[in-house]
Amino acid sequence: MRPWFTTVIDDHSRAVTGYMVFLGAPSALNTLLALQQAIWRKTDAAWAVCGIPDVLYVDHGSDFTRVHLEQVVADLRIPLIHSAVVRPQGRGKVERLFCTIITELLPELPGHVVGGRLASTPRLSLADLDYAIGAFVVCTYNLRPHSRTGEAPRETWAAGAFLPRVPDSLEEVDLLLVQHAKPRIVQRDSIRFEDLRYASPTLAGFVGEAVTLKDIEAARRAHRLALRAGIGERIARVADFLLISGGPAQTAAPRDPPSRARTRLRLYEEDY
How far, in Å, CA of 79 to CA of 69, rounded? 12
Render each residue's pLDDT in the chain as its tens digit; 272 residues: 788 999 999 999 999 999 999 998 888 888 888 999 999 999 898 999 999 999 988 876 655 556 777 777 777 888 888 877 766 555 778 889 999 999 999 999 988 888 777 778 888 899 999 999 999 999 999 999 998 889 999 999 989 877 888 888 887 777 767 666 666 677 777 666 666 777 777 777 778 777 666 666 677 777 788 888 888 888 877 777 777 665 555 555 555 555 555 544 444 444 44
pLDDT at position 267, please?
46
Query: Of the candidates 83, 32, 67, which has an alpha carbon nearest to the alpha carbon of residue 53?
Result: 32
* Single-letter code of the amino acid located at 158: A
Helix (H) or strand (E) segment spanning residue 82: strand 80-82
pLDDT at position 63, please?
57
pLDDT at position 269, please?
46
How far, in Å, CA of 147 to CA of 9, rounded? 15
Name beta bridge partners: 21: 5
How far, in Å, CA of 215 to CA of 105, rounded? 47
Q: Name which CATH class applies to 4-177.
A: alpha beta
pLDDT at position 66, please?
64
Angle between helix 67-75 and 28-39 (nearest 10)? 20
Give the distance from CA 258 to its chain's centroid. Answer: 66
pLDDT at position 148, please?
87
Q: Where are the domains of the chain?
A: 4-177, 181-247
| CA quadruple 234, 235, 236, 241: dihedral, nearest 10 | 90
CA distances from 216 to 175, 189, 204 (A): 16, 15, 11
How far, in Å, CA of 23 to CA of 25, rounded? 7
